[in-house]
A and B are shown apart, each in its own frame.
Chain A
């Protein structure tokens, strides 16, 4: 019998799991896919929003501003990169300037610190290369960039270190609410019994909610496409640059990443379905136009990849948080679209409080360790550190991914740390092997060998991303003989 099962191992589910791991309770996280961060948490803008664009008084406004303020401590403890680069919302006309001022008013009501309306010159001073057509901008110094999948992985590992259990390939198909517990059953007939269920199932949260008798909302997918630019061509942007928002979201932004690339995105394709992460030519073309509008010098012809993520858009227009009215054993963390990443730490804290109010007995454990350690990547080490690392572990001397300088030692550690099943994309997200210019052209076969060596998965069973995404289909004739 578990005290809590969390359904969904995205950033929200994993942040909740981490927060729950501070208490003397038994917690399991159930994830349908092969790894953590397999939905919106792996493909989004990677921004910790300041919190000025949420309507005052909403759940979104509250948890965004609170979450943003928690990020420094969480990232420090969890060894996750965070850069407070600040964000600009650029206005291209006096009308847009009015809109931008409205955002400032929202922000001030929401309690966002440090907001300022900038003149064109002040804006250009903050971000050289901004379009000369910009008439002014909103400046938010607390706007930050992070790495969303690293955050998710770190929360999961820290939760796991503190006793939370993780189960993958668990697609919740049937949920039965008993008098004093809930039974969650998977498509493979695995059964978990728990006092409470936390619904953090991303785009599928409405389905989970319905399984538990709460049909008060639906979730629709809104696809967002991105273009990631070559690091060599990415020095042109230092801040998060938004355009005055449109009806479908915060608009297309141009931003640096914590890894030194830059990106343009996202598009906003409503009712795109929950699984379709395809990138369209029309989307890419629209992004290039929008990027050039913000920053005319944007090197849109230097992409290294394009990708898409699906935001979970709630029919209610706001995050759905707290105890379900229809089922008191269900705690919702649903409809978490943007600013979900920014809000995740605050959602985690609120969810724990909701569980306490729902009747869960929460006693802090004395031995909670908030720190998740991650060795410094080889590429970030000084020469002295590199020499010491190879001395200690010769596998640091074997560079597997040449574009991003990722060593065998780091890949081995990533495979061994993986809570689910090691995959090629999972190793990529944990180490950056395959994220450089050659996009795995050189290192993919080598990483596969290491997955076999350290993960014990035979070559024929290694997948790119779980499911049927097998990298190879069999042996050659020569080998078969």
Chain B
């Protein structure tokens, strides 16, 4: 073993940095953050648009500005060390972290581990779009890195498939950089992105958004020459080929979903949630692998970084407690998604005192929506909301003293 630390944090993005700060604040003396990139801040560094921090800091920041707030704090905290250019290769169930960096292979015994590796983008291959395989097909995040960090233009005439937030933001960025964005196609009848992004990115720039529409074929032998788009049957999602039309373009950007990157998590033996593709956690964000915590987009894909920071603070604080022997093992109850609710995080709760915040997403748009949280026959929360959409993460607070069995979270029309 090369060294021992109280808390090892895997990933130096917004989740990892916030977790490290909170872990230190909660008493962990040695906190080690391992980041694979050459700089801390993660994906925020390429998100040069503003709109970050409204909830967490009460002001509008760009991605790098938001990240810098945490980076500055970490730099001024003696007990936190950030190792850059360091790729974690494995995390064992007994919390031995193996990583590689310029200095060589490192093994670290951690009192507690916080998993904060973030997510990756769904690809063209995973979608199975037919056609050729030319240059010019990019995930929106990859294009964002090229444009915002490398100063490179991936194309001049663009079709965006998927209305996820990165796709919407990139549609606007490409217009600002002088490209023509022909359209954004969305398979579903609603956007998975934030409403404010649809308004500010598309409507303000005159970019059409077509719902129930997808790309059925990519054309071009060497570079993209166009795509065939078609409407889909709203019930089956099958393309209606009679509506197919060719749209000339040199670039297809994909913003078709984010997938938590949990390869390391699987090695710890932690239970996984098939819906979130992240680990199953309790309110402390502890996974079913003892002493291993998870937060941020590796746990479930968030809508706002503000929520990531909040969740990471919970994980960091509890990781420190665990490392210091102050987090007692306790019996948990399950939290279950019902009705229109796709998933709830945390998936487990410890019975006891205090409040717990439940984060969840719906699987379709509800206008208006009725939320009911109950424990057996007892209704813990019942409230109405004007609209709930899959693009926005919902939050509800429950009183843990009311919980003595499994909890269900339900959303219905009405």
Contact across chains for B151 and A279 when beta carbons are under 8 A apart? no
Residue B36 CB within 8 A of the other chain: yes
Contact across chains for A399 and B104 when beta carbons are under 8 A apart? no
Among A305, A307, A405, A464, the residue within 8 A (CB) of B134 is A464
Least distance between B275 CB and chain A CB atoms (Å): 16
The answer for the CA separation of A140 and B208 in the assembled complex, in Å, is 57
**Chain B residues whose CB sits within 8 angstroms of the CB of A51 once the complex forms:** none
Among A439, A466, A467, A476, the residue within 8 A (CB) of B125 is A439
Residue B123 CB within 8 A of the other chain: yes
For A440, give the chain B residue with the smallest CB separation: B142
For B43, give the chain A residue with the smallest CB separation: A442
Interface stretch among B153-161, B183-191, B402-410? B153-161
The answer for the CA separation of A472 and B177 in the assembled complex, in Å, is 13
Contact across chains for B104 and A391 when beta carbons are under 8 A apart? yes
The number of residues on chain B lying at the interface, defined by a beta carbon within 8 Å of a beta carbon of chain A, is: 51
Q: How many A-B residue pairs have CB under 8 A?
A: 148
The answer for the CA separation of A466 and B135 in the assembled complex, in Å, is 10
Among B105, B120, B221, the residue within 8 A (CB) of A387 is B105
Residue A93 CB within 8 A of the other chain: no
Contact across chains for A469 and B222 when beta carbons are under 8 A apart? yes
**Chain B residues whose CB sits within 8 angstroms of the CB of A284 once the complex forms:** 128, 130
**Chain B residues whose CB sits within 8 angstroms of the CB of A228 once the complex forms:** 125
- Contacts of A346-397 to chain B: CB distance below 8 A: 383, 386-387, 390-391, 394, 396-397
Residue A444 CB within 8 A of the other chain: yes
Contact across chains for A383 and B98 when beta carbons are under 8 A apart? yes
Contact across chains for B102 and A304 when beta carbons are under 8 A apart? no
The answer for the CA separation of A283 and B217 in the assembled complex, in Å, is 13
Contact across chains for A476 and B105 when beta carbons are under 8 A apart? no
The answer for the CA separation of A440 and B152 in the assembled complex, in Å, is 17
Residue B146 CB within 8 A of the other chain: yes
Contact across chains for A438 and B123 when beta carbons are under 8 A apart? yes
Residue B64 CB within 8 A of the other chain: no
Q: Decide: A468 near B100, CB < 8 A? Known: A277-B132, A279-B131, A445-B145.
A: no
Q: Decide: A442 near B101, CB < 8 A? Known: A284-B128, A459-B150.
A: no
The answer for the CA separation of A445 and B46 in the assembled complex, in Å, is 13
Q: Decide: A397 near B103, CB < 8 A? Known: A402-B36, A444-B142.
A: yes
Most B-side CB within 10 Å, residue of A277, A303, A394, A398: A398
Contact across chains for B150 and A471 when beta carbons are under 8 A apart? no
**Chain B residues whose CB sits within 8 angstroms of the CB of A468 once the complex forms:** 222-223
Residue A463 CB within 8 A of the other chain: yes
The proximity string for A residues 423-436 relative to B, scoring 1 for CB distances below 8 Å and 0 otherwise, is 01000000000000
**Chain A residues whose CB sits within 8 angstroms of the CB of B155 once the complex forms:** 473
Contact across chains for A303 and B102 when beta carbons are under 8 A apart? no
Contact across chains for B151 and A475 when beta carbons are under 8 A apart? yes
- Contacts of B279-315 to chain A: CB distance below 8 A: none
The answer for the CA separation of A394 and B102 in the assembled complex, in Å, is 5
Least distance between A267 CB and chain B CB atoms (Å): 12
Residue A306 CB within 8 A of the other chain: yes
- Contacts of B110-141 to chain A: CB distance below 8 A: 120-121, 123-126, 128, 130-135, 138-139, 141
**Chain A residues whose CB sits within 8 angstroms of the CB of B165 once the complex forms:** none
Q: Decide: A306 near B222, CB < 8 A? Known: A397-B102, A399-B36.
A: no
Contact across chains for B120 and A469 when beta carbons are under 8 A apart? no
Residue B147 CB within 8 A of the other chain: yes
Least distance between A387 CB and chain B CB atoms (Å): 4
For A464, give the chain B residue with the smallest CB separation: B135
Least distance between B127 CB and chain A CB atoms (Å): 9
Contact across chains for A442 and B134 when beta carbons are under 8 A apart? no
Residue A477 CB within 8 A of the other chain: yes
Least distance between A407 CB and chain B CB atoms (Å): 8
- Contacts of B217-233 to chain A: CB distance below 8 A: 217-219, 221-223
Contact across chains for B121 and A441 when beta carbons are under 8 A apart? yes
Contact across chains for A473 and B154 when beta carbons are under 8 A apart? yes
Contact across chains for A397 and B135 when beta carbons are under 8 A apart? no
- Contacts of A18-45 to chain B: CB distance below 8 A: none
Contact across chains for B100 and A390 when beta carbons are under 8 A apart? yes
Least distance between A284 CB and chain B CB atoms (Å): 6
Contact across chains for A398 and B125 when beta carbons are under 8 A apart? no
Contact across chains for B142 and A441 when beta carbons are under 8 A apart? yes
- Contacts of A161-180 to chain B: CB distance below 8 A: none
Least distance between B248 CB and chain A CB atoms (Å): 15
Contact across chains for A472 and B105 when beta carbons are under 8 A apart? no
The answer for the CA separation of A399 and B152 in the assembled complex, in Å, is 23
**Chain B residues whose CB sits within 8 angstroms of the CB of A303 once the complex forms:** 125-126, 128
Among A283, A442, A477, A479, the residue within 8 A (CB) of B120 is A442
**Chain B residues whose CB sits within 8 angstroms of the CB of A278 once the complex forms:** 130-132, 217-219
Residue B85 CB within 8 A of the other chain: yes
Contact across chains for A471 and B36 when beta carbons are under 8 A apart? no
Top-5 shortest CB links A-B: A305-B125, A479-B151, A464-B135, A399-B87, A469-B135
What are 16 sample pairs from A and B whose C-beta atoms fall under 8 A apart?
A278-B131, A280-B130, A284-B130, A305-B125, A306-B128, A390-B105, A405-B87, A437-B123, A442-B142, A444-B138, A445-B145, A463-B135, A468-B222, A471-B135, A475-B152, A479-B151
Given A278-B130, A278-B132, A438-B120, list of 12 further CB < 8 A pairs?
A: A281-B217, A303-B128, A394-B103, A397-B104, A398-B101, A399-B100, A402-B87, A405-B89, A442-B120, A469-B135, A472-B152, A473-B156
